[in-house]
Structure 1
Amino acid sequence: MSINWDLYNKRLNLHGSTQRDRLTKEFKIAKESKASSNPSCKTVKVNGIDKQVFIVAKSDKTKFSISPVNSSDTLQMGDKIFWKNADWLITELSLDDDVYVSGTIQQCNYTLPFQLNTSDIIQEPCIISDNQTTVGQDQNKIITVPDTLKHILIQYNSNTVQLQKGKRIFIDKQVENPSVYEVTKIDRITHMVGEHGLLELTCEEGQVTEKDRSDLLIADYVSVLPTPPVSDLCEITYSGFPEIKVGTSKTFTAVFKDESGNVLTDVMPIWNVIVPNGYESYVSFSEDGMKLIVTVASEFDLIGQTITIKLSNVDNPDGITLDVKVVSLF
């Protein structure tokens, strides 16, 4: 009986061309198939997406090792992990990922609120640590004096990349006089692996100012941009100055805009012309679409008088007004 060497080699190389490759593949298959019975297998959110991972305690009780169950999943330095109703960050990543990917997660102890030149408030989970300085000895005892610095490890992303030196932030609970800090240094290298990782911010304690909202823990608060008054969304256009000569006519045009400044063409104008008492018979007007034509008779006593034109519409009953002065023909 002859041996089918092609079939033999095909089966032999099914999980790799070398013994090392085959052992690695078999380990990955066994890890995935037995994951559900492993007490270290947890379902967590990695950057907001549900994933199955192995989580094992480390000697440092504030940190855990983490590894994806599925060999096709990966981890990146700085990934946000949500587990046990808390936020964690991947602070270390093993460079040896031939067999499996592994890293270290550390629980976040603060959520940093801040703004980026808009009224939107951004919330970023982060790790805060104090900085202490040893300044000398007193009777063989080291004197450790805490200074006013704090360090922040925070995920590098589209929001945090916009943080700059000089940025003021609150690092405190919502108390009567919370502490505010200024970013004095940004390390964008030490905790990065390629385009993924953590920023390390060094912050020095500062003073609260009138621009701060201590109740929101937002320094240099940017308020919600006010909606422009409805009266600002319509205007009256005309040629020259807001005046009309006796014995002539002048055309005024209504312009309506939306909040973005786009001209609206489907709004019906409502005009109201107010003439000084006693001169009503000398002033007439007519409407033509968006236009108002005002005609003043040749009555010299009208010179110096003011005609008030009001423009409004159904959605904007207050509208706007324009005072038009009657002037001499010459």
Structure 2
Amino acid sequence: MKASFLTRASSRAPRTYALAACAALLAGASPAQAHTIVGDRVFPATLAIDDPGVNDELNLPTFTTMTAANPDGSPGSINYSLGWEYSKTITANLALSVGSEGYSWQRRPNAYGWGNIETQLKYVMWQDAKSESIVSTAVSAEWGNSGSPQSASLPSDPVTTVTFKLFAGKGFGDASADWLKPFAITGEYDFTVPTRSSNADGSLNATTVTYGATLQYSLLYMNAHVREVPELFRRLIPAFEAVFTTPLSNLEPSVPGEFGTNVTTGVVGPSLYYVGNNFQLGVMAQIPINSASGAHVGVMASVDFYLDDIAPNSIGKPLFGAPQARGRY
């Protein structure tokens, strides 16, 4: 249930676009942290986009910081958030998630608030252990006004949005060349629709698309299936990630001296994941692609607890049916 961070920004009025874009970027930290195992391939809980699988997991917390830019190029507010997400499998291929960007605060000016609650239903349509491939889909909702009220210094979004998602992942363990085997790619495509076209103040809520990808190099996989690596590096998965949001329709008119509401925004950057037996640690440097996305490099970090490994016979197993068969990593 990875939030489409600039989906929210795009629905705001132009005069607040810079602050909204950065605050919404922090929202991307919240839902849908999960690790996925297909055959012998571990797809980590990536930070820019969601991974393509379903699991029993608790992400707590996800920390994000980013500095917004003003339209004149000067630094704007400094934004922070602490988010969370809980994912529960219903069957081996179906999971329900609930989460939030959580508590957010900013400096320049000072403001505080709680993010909306987000829910997601995700289904794995197809996966193949031999080719380390997986395709899944999801529908999620961010429930308007379920966070801080509009009277708060940092209010939650007043409008509910519904997002339709498609995910895919492919590991290259079946490649003939050994140097290719540790590589994997994942991707996500989201289409977000607000349930209300405009707000009480007359501002419009945009329809947007969010799309992203990751390129991963698994030292975990290399050590297990290609050749031994030093023990210090055996559980690491470095990656490069990117995510972008483009407003499609119902856009505010452009205002001279402000960021345009039709601008594509996003972040790219390197990341690193440590995959433990029962948890994962992840960190990503978020480089804004333009001034509408942020003023400086931001940071996102998370801790993800694998409930399916911690408590496989209770809260870590599907409500119905047997769990997915897992490869050994």
The TM-score range, normalised by the shorter chain, is under 0.3
Looking at CA atoms only, which structure, 1 or 2, has the larger radius of gyration?
1
TM-score (normalizing by structure 2): 0.19
TM-score (normalizing by structure 1): 0.19
